[in-house]
């Protein structure tokens, strides 16, 4: 791989993300009661990025755009890799020959030996920061793409889950400044925070997080907890299942389809994980007293 220098930040920044280029400051008029005052307000940056792949034999290389998404700039190579991996276009880290990034484009060059599913590419995604994988309309489409996590393992104490939200909030520098970013975090089974990514889009934050793990050749994530700052939607549970994550936890509520998918894959799905409580919607056997 040959990612740009911008995609190789220092260790702390690589594990916990960076506030660089993720916020911008604008002038606002703040109203309190009947009084108006001028203030500066921090906003989360939202800009489009195009994800391309280059593939084919050395004699017949082709380039395709597979997604255009609205995202918060930063960790764009991880975003592209996470998207391609959770769409099963990438099967392993060694499929990647090189990655080049620009202000509004990421190109992932696949090795000539990699076979690309052209029918999958023809879907030509357009995703927004609130959408995700709108092209998938059925559980069957996801279930053909992966096996999901191993059943029954790991076992995690209830008390570990009560600590997740506080640790995540402490590691969200851009959210603290703007209040406008979603976050995704990986924890080990002892409740230790391993990495965090933030983005205006829920699925982008997850793609960045999982993309970093995929590049490091740490899939499947069989001993990890994936925790998100918003709700547990179908597309996020799908991404976790493809990455082999056994436990998905969310601050907010799950959707009905997310619960169905988690149960089909024997994943543990937790919702409303905050203030010393949570609901278990699937896989209660992994949560021990």
DSSP letters for 158-208 = HHHHHTHHHHHHHT-HHHHHHS--EEEEEEETT--EEEEEEESSHHHHHHH
pLDDT > 70 in the chain, percent = 81
Residue 163 belongs to a domain: yes
Residue 91 belongs to a domain: no
219-234 per-position pLDDT tens digit: 999 999 999 999 999 9
Residue 95 belongs to a domain: no
Is pLDDT at 282 greater than 80 in this prediction? yes
The confidence band for 194, taking pLDDT boundaries of 50, 70 and 90, is very high
pLDDT value for 152: 76
The confidence band for 145, taking pLDDT boundaries of 50, 70 and 90, is low
Mean pLDDT of the region 71-87: 94
Residue 213 belongs to a domain: yes
131 annotated active-site: yes
> Which residues form the domain of 271?
156-288
Domain count, the chain: 1
Mean pLDDT of the region 141-169: 83
- CATH number of the structural domain spanning residue 165: 3.40.140.10
> 1, 14, 131, 194: which one is catalytic?
131
What is the pTM for the complete model shown? 0.84
70 three-class SS: strand
Tokens of 152: 């029954």
pLDDT value for 21: 61
Mean pLDDT of the region 276-287: 94
Cβ atoms of 280 and 257 within 8 Å: the answer is no
Mean pLDDT of the region 17-41: 78
Residue 92 belongs to a domain: no
Is pLDDT at 179 greater than 90 in this prediction? no
Q: Could you say which DSSP state residue 38 is in?
A: E
């Amino acid at each position: 791989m040959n990612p740009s220098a911008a995609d190789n930040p220092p260790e702390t920044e690589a594990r916990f993300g960076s506030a660089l280029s993720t916020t911008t400051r604008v002038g606002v008029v703040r109203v309190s009661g009947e009084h108006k005052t001028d203030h500066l307000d921090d906003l989360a940056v939202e800009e489009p990025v195009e994800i391309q792949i280059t593939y084919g034999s050395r004699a017949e290389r082709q380039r395709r755009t597979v997604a255009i998404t609205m995202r918060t700039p930063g960790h764009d190579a991880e975003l592209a890799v996470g998207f391609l991996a959770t769409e099963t276009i990438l099967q392993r880290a060694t499929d990647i020959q090189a990655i080049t990034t620009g202000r509004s484009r990421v190109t992932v060059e696949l090795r000539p030996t990699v076979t690309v599913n052209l029918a999958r590419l023809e879907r030509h995604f357009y995703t927004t920061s609130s959408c995700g994988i709108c092209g998938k309309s059925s559980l069957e489409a996801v279930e053909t793409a992966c096996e999901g996590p191993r059943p029954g393992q790991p076992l995690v104490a209830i008390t570990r889950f009560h600590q997740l939200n506080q640790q995540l909030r402490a590691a969200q520098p851009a959210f603290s400044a703007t209040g406008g970013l979603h976050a995704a975090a990986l924890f080990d089974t002892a409740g230790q925070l391993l990495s965090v990514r933030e983005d205006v889009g829920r699925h982008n934050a997850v793609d960045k997080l999982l993309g970093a793990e995929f590049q490091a050749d740490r899939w499947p994530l069989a001993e990890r907890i994936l925790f998100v700052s918003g709700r547990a939607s179908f597309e996020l549970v799908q991404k976790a299942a493809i990455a082999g994550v056994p436990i998905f936890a969310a601050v907010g509520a799950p959707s009905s389809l997310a619960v169905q998918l988690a149960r089909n894959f024997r994943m543990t799905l937790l919702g409303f994980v905050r203030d010393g409580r949570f609901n278990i919607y699937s896989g209660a056997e992994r949560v021990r007293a």
